[in-house]
Amino acid sequence: MPAKPIIKPEAVSIASGNGIQSFIESIDIDGDNKKYQQMYDKIAPFYNLSNKLYFWLKFGGEANYRRQFLDELEIREGDRVLEVSCGTGDNFRFLPANIELHGLDISMGMLRACQRHLKKWELNASLYHASAEDLPFENAAFDVVYHVGGINFFNDKRKAIEEMIRVAKPGTKLILVDETEKLVKGTYEKIPFVGSQFKHHSAIQAPVDLIPPTMQDVQVKEICDGLMYCLSFRVPGID
Ligand SMILES: C[S@@+](CC[C@H](N)C(=O)[O-])C[C@H]1O[C@@H](n2cnc3c(N)ncnc32)[C@H](O)[C@@H]1O
C-alpha cells in the first residue's frame, strides 16, 4: 500500500531550494515567535556545542539528558516520526534506527545546522520550515509526534497542541517537554547576551490545562533534576 501523503493540499510551499521545504515567510512571524526565531537564528552555529557542554557538566552526557524523555516515546520499526521544533536535530541521534524522520522548526538557521548534522551523522530526515501553530501536514499523518524545548514561549500554545494532536494517528502517545521555572530563572536568565530574552514572562507551568479533555492518560512529571517537565497523553484510538 503506498504511504499516505504528508503535506496537506492547502499548505503553500514557499521554497525548498536548499532541501528544506518552507511554509512560512519571515514577515508573517510575529510576537514571541518572532523574538525566538531571531534568537535561534543567531545562536544556531553555537547551539549544539554549548548544549553538549552543559549536558556533560549537568548530567554526565547528552544521552543521560535526552533518554529521560525520549524513552517515553512508543516507536516501532518503520514508524513515521515527527519532531515539532527539532532545532539542530540533536534528538534524532538518540532514536531507534529504521524509522522515517521528519523535523519542523520556525528557525531556518537551526534547520540549516540540522541539515549539516544529519550529513555528519549519516541520518536522513525531511525538514520543514513552519510554525508549530500551523503545521503543513495532513491529519493523522504520523505514528509518533513529540516536542522538546520551545512550547513555553510559543505565541499560541493551545493551537500548537491542537495541531500536534491533529497530525498524530489515533492511539498515538504524544510527549511535550520543556524547561521548568527552575531552569529559566536559575540558568537561562543568567546567560550573557540571550538571558534578557527569557525575562519578563509569566511563571512557567506545564500546559496541562490546554490538553483537550478528550485526551487519555494525561501525565506530567518533572525530569532532569526538576529542570524540565515531561507532559504526555494519548490521542484516543479508533474503537
Ligand atoms: C531549545 S530549542 C530545542 C531544539 C530541539 N528540540 C532539542 O531538543 O534540542 C527550541 C526550538 O524551538 C523552535 N521554535 C520556537 N518557537 C517555535 C514555533 N512557534 N514553531 C516552531 N518552532 C519553534 C526554535 O527555533 C528552536 O529551534
Q: What is the pLDDT of residue 110?
A: 97
The reply to whether ligand 1 has any atom less than 6 angstroms from the CB of 145 is no
Beta bridge partners of 234: 173, 216
Domain assignment of residue 45, yes or no: yes
The pTM of the full predicted model, rounded to 2 decimals, is 0.95
Domain assignment of residue 226, yes or no: yes
Domain assignment of residue 160, yes or no: yes
Name residue, grid cell 524523555. 69
Question: What's the gap in Å between 4 CA and the centre of ligand 1?
Answer: 26
Q: Which residue puts its alpha carbon closest to atom 3 of ligand 1?
A: 149
Question: What's the gap in Å between 150 CA and the centre of ligand 1?
Answer: 5
For the chain, what is the domain count? 1
Q: Which of 20, 32, 36 for a ligand 1 pocket mutation test, highest count of atoms within 8 Å of Cβ? A: 36
Domain assignment of residue 239, yes or no: no
Domain assignment of residue 15, yes or no: no
Question: What's the gap in Å between 222 CA and the centre of ligand 1?
Answer: 20
d(CA 150, CA 93): 19
Q: What is the pLDDT of residue 187?
A: 75
Q: Which residue puts its alpha carbon closest to atom 1 of ligand 1?
A: 149
d(CA 77, CA 99): 6
Q: What is the pLDDT along the chain (239 residues), one digit of tens a residue?
A: 556 679 999 998 887 778 899 999 888 999 999 999 999 999 999 998 988 998 999 899 999 999 999 999 999 999 999 999 999 999 999 999 999 999 999 999 999 999 999 999 999 999 999 999 999 999 999 999 999 999 999 999 999 999 999 999 999 999 999 999 887 777 777 777 667 776 667 778 999 999 999 999 999 999 999 999 999 999 999 77
d(CA 227, CA 146): 18
Domain, as residue range, for 190: 24-234
- Which is it for the CA torsion 66, 117, 50, 164, positive or negative? negative
Question: What's the gap in Å between 217 CA and the centre of ligand 1?
Answer: 25
What is the per-residue DSSP string for the chain? Answer: -PPPP-B-TT----B-TTSEEE---GGG--HHHHHHHHHHHHHHHHHHHHHHHHHHHHHSSHHHHHHHHHTTS---TT-EEEEET-TT-TTGGGSPSS-EEEEEES-HHHHHHHHHHHHHHT--EEEEE--TTS--BPTT-BSEEEEES-GGG-S-HHHHHHHHHHHBPTTPEEEEEEE-HHHHHHTGGGSTTTGGGGSS-PPP---GGGS-TT-EEEEEEEETTTTEEEEEEE-----
Q: What is the pLDDT of residue 5?
A: 77
Beta bridge partners of 144: 81
Q: What is the pLDDT of residue 238?
A: 77
The reply to whether ligand 1 has any atom less than 6 angstroms from the CB of 55 is no
Domain assignment of residue 101, yes or no: yes
Domain assignment of residue 136, yes or no: yes
Question: What's the gap in Å between 40 CA and the centre of ligand 1?
Answer: 8
Domain assignment of residue 215, yes or no: yes
Check which CATH number belongs to the domain holding 121 and give it: 3.40.50.150
